[in-house]
Structure formats: C-alpha cells, structure tokens
Amino acid sequence: MTTLLTLLSTLLWWVLYSSIFALFFSLIAWPLLRWAERSNVVFNRVYLACLLWTMAGMALVAGVAIHEGRVRPPYGALLASNALRGVLVVDMLVGALLLWRLIPRVDARRIRPTSACMAVAAVVAVAFGVATSLA
C-alpha cells in the first residue's frame, strides 16, 4: 500500500511541477511565436505543447538520474554526465517537434519548424539562465 501511495504522490507532483513549468515556458514561447510568425497563435495550444514537452523532459531527466544512481544532491556529477547532455538534446528535439505539430496559427496553418526551433532555443536559454543564477 505504501508503494502505491508513493507512486501516486510522485505522479501528482510530476503533473503539478510540469504544469507550473509549462506555464512559465508558454509565457516565453507565445510572444516569440507571435512575433516570428507575424500572426496570432493559439495560446492554449502553446501551453499544451509546452506541458507535454515539460512532462517528457522531466521523465527523461529523471530516467537518467535513476539510471546513474544520482537522485539526491549534489547533482554536479549528474550535470557533467554525457547521458544527461544527450537527453537534453533529445528533449530539445521533442520540444521543437511538439511545438511544430501542435500549435496552429489563427489562419489554421501550422507554425514553421524554424519558429518552433527558435522558441525552444529561447525557452531553454532562459531556463538555463534562471537555473544558473539560482545555483
């Protein structure tokens, strides 16, 4: 029973933190996509794409941390690992793919792949900037 409750609690926290980060990321990506596309984009679809991207990213990073056995601080060795670097590249590719496939403009056409890549790069740059300033 304890294992089931622990698993349920982990899933709830995973969804909660993913939705908080997705809101932050979508508030960065939405104005950038509006500017890059020179057209309105649908905010709730930007949020959905960022939510799926964040959930996938958190699962990938947690998988690497569990695989390497570094689930408790300090995380210096985890940050220096090649597996985490590879997962972060895969995470950015997943983010660009999700943004490109899920976000329509108001004229019902998809955003350009280059706009999706630029939005992902901006979100990752801001996230790394915030993370390094906090550390």
Residues 83, 85, 87, 89: is their CA dihedral positive or negative? negative
pLDDT per residue as tens digits for the range 53-84: 999 999 999 999 999 998 888 888 888 899 99
Phi–psi pair at 77, nearest 5 degrees: -70, -35
Residue 42 gets the label, from left (phi > 0), alpha (psi -120 to 50) or beta, of: beta
DSSP character at residue 8: H
Q: The whole model's pTM is what?
A: 0.91
pLDDT at 92: 97
Instruction: Tell me the pLDDT tens digit for each residue of 71-123.
Output: 888 888 888 899 999 999 999 999 999 999 999 988 888 999 999 999 999 99
* 132 has pLDDT over 90: no
